[in-house]
Amino acid sequence: MTKRTRQALALLSALLLSSAAAGCSSPSAPAPARFGSGGPAAARAGTAPPAAPGSAKGFTLVASGDVLPHTSIIKRAADDADGDGHDFRPMFSAVKPVVSAADLALCHMETIYGEDGGPFSGYPAFVSPPTVADALKDAGYDGCSTASNHTLDDGGDGLKRTLDRFDKVGLGHAGSARTAAEAARTTLYTAGSAKVAHLAYTYDTNGYPMPEGQPWAVNLMRQDEIVADARAARKAGADVVLVSLHWGTEWQTEPDETQLSLGKALTASQTGGRPDVDMILGTHAHIPQAYEKVNGTWIIYGMGDQVAGEMFNYSGARDMRGNYGSIGRFTFAPPAAPGQRWQVTKAEFIPQMMDLSTGRIVNLPAALAQSPDHEEYESAQEAVTEAVLGRGAAKDGLKAAQ
């Protein structure tokens, strides 16, 4: 745990009885090795037959940020279930039209799941109700990245429960694994006529060691392994390779040096003149960060939190940015010739926020279209937009959308 985090926790200790802060930073313990590529085969994975000439079909991708159920969020889901477990579906109702309309929708499940009946917990060691997965599926998500600094909050058992629930509801997952064979497989989806690979990695696991005998349990963020996995995915038939990275500095709008340098290196990596990575989807900072086109490839440095309770920054102050986020929406078109890159022909973002007074994610443009004088929503949308466009993405065609 960093000095800065320890200082933050000292300031937050009086507040944590009723609400939680952002995820904790990691110590400087050496990271264990990881083997294999990607994660388990996704629900829609499989070897699709080659598309007939002229029949190639593009697709839309939607991606969103950290799902981080603090204790207050768990309580809200219990209230929404009217005494029958936990119902997280109402939280996603306003973004469900956006998510379900996409050909491929990916989330980031930051926490792990407990037993059906609990116990459950929020910060600092998260154990969430497994019905979160049911709500994600209901909202229209096809899968999620599951590599984060909280993936081992409840050891190998928590990891297994989480992926078991994903399998049960039909969600794909990438970034963590229950077996060596699962860790060695690449998560593949079919979207349009494309085979899309999803790889996911985290900078650390908050110092928790890999479960005994399972060095492959969580994918750790190492440039050479990411590139090797991306190339393996391409050899497995992936037309598009998406890489989710749990990285960055919490509460910092600007991408840090690791984000900038690793993002530049990954987008520059090529095989046979074709980029190895087609897009980077970032999480972890808990506030919205910029989108940027680097070496011709889109990077989202950080989508912010999609679901989170009250958030307190490193000064110990309540920080509304911790409940702001963006949804990225990209349209991919087939290549002009076989073996070439699938091109992003439309790049959009949708500002969102977690409204704690209602316990709901808010699609900000849609909400403001209905209530244009809602000052809190207007302020949130302005803050998200400023962060997302902070590195000049508008010049490369990124636009706000509803």
Q: In whole angstroms, what is the distance from residue 3 CA to residue 167 CA?
A: 39
Q: In whole angstroms, how far apart are CA 128 and each of 26, 118, 202, 334?
A: 21, 8, 19, 39
Choose among 51, 216, 277, 242: nearest CA to 144.
242
pLDDT tens per residue across span 249-283: 999 999 999 999 999 999 999 999 999 999 999 99
Domains and CATH numbers, the chain: 3-400 (3.60.21.10)
Burial (CB count within 10 angstroms: exposed 0-12, middle 13-18, buried 19+), residue 41: middle
pLDDT tens per residue across span 383-402: 999 999 999 999 999 999 98
Amino acid 55: pLDDT? 80
Structure confidence at residue 5 as a pLDDT band (50, 70, 90): very low
In this structure, are residues 56 and 193 in contact, taking their beta carbons and an 8 Å threshold? yes
pLDDT tens per residue across span 50-78: 444 468 999 999 999 999 999 999 999 99
pLDDT tens per residue across span 364-386: 999 999 999 999 999 999 999 99
Q: Rounded mean pLDDT of the chain?
A: 89
Q: In whole angstroms, what is the distance from residue 16 CA to residue 343 CA?
A: 46
Can you tell me the mean pLDDT for 111-118? 97
No. of helices (H) and no. of strands (E), the chain: 10, 19
Looking up tokens 């087609």 gives 278
Cα-Cα-Cα-Cα dihedral sign, residues 385, 388, 394, 399: negative
The DSSP code for 120 is: -
Amino acid 54: pLDDT? 62
Does residue 85 have a pLDDT over 60?
Answer: yes
Can you tell me the mean pLDDT for 220-240? 98
Cα-Cα-Cα-Cα dihedral sign, residues 99, 110, 184, 26: positive
Amino acid 338: pLDDT? 87
Does residue 15 have a pLDDT over 50?
Answer: no
Report the residue count for the chain. 402
pLDDT tens per residue across span 166-225: 999 999 999 999 999 999 999 999 999 999 999 999 999 999 999 999 999 999 999 999
SS3 134: helix
Can you tell me the mean pLDDT for 10-38? 35
Does residue 38 have a pLDDT over 90?
Answer: no
pLDDT tens per residue across span 328-337: 999 999 998 9
pLDDT tens per residue across span 308-350: 999 999 999 999 999 999 999 999 999 989 889 999 999 999 9
Dihedral of the CA atoms 150, 154, 160, 161 (nearest 10)? Answer: -100
Looking up tokens 């939607």 gives 62
Can you tell me the mean pLDDT for 91-96? 98
